[in-house]
Amino acid sequence: MSRSFVVYAKYDMQVVWSQGISQTAKGDVWDSEAELVKERPDLFAATPTRVRGEVRRAPVVDTPDTPADQGEQAPPPSESARVVDKTAGASKRGG
């Protein structure tokens, strides 16, 4: 017995294609080997496009898992970021 793979329709629409006109409804499950899917793969998704009872969740924020990650220090400042005292050499020039 062969394993069948499915895809999910992305849109509610009528499609005009080489075999005529077909109706798609967002979320409908189609066999990935169907002629329409092969001819118009842009109309289908590999993951479900409509999930019943879907709960909207806040975005997940990536937080450090270990205390060691929290103790990371910033790298030392670059040479161009260091403060230079320009008045120290002025007395040697007779200024």
What is the reported pLDDT for 85? 61
Q: Please report the pLDDT score of residue 89 as a whole number.
A: 57
The model scores a pTM over 0.85: no
Which residue has better confidence, 60 or 32? 32
What ranges in 14-89 are assigned the alpha helix state H?
35-39, 67-70
Distances in Å between the Cα of 27 and the Cα atoms of 5, 8, 13, 31, 50 are 15, 5, 12, 13, 5
Q: Which position has the token pair 């970021």?
A: 81
Query: For the segment 7-43, what is each residue's pLDDT rounded down to a tens digit?
Result: 999 999 999 999 999 999 999 999 999 999 999 999 9
Q: Which is nearest to 38 in space by CA: 17, 24, 10?
A: 17
Q: What are phi and psi of 7, to 5 degrees?
A: -130, 170
Residue 13 burial (CB count, 10 A): 13
Domain boundaries, the chain: 6-45
Q: What is the pLDDT of residues 48-57, one digit of tens each?
A: 988 888 788 8
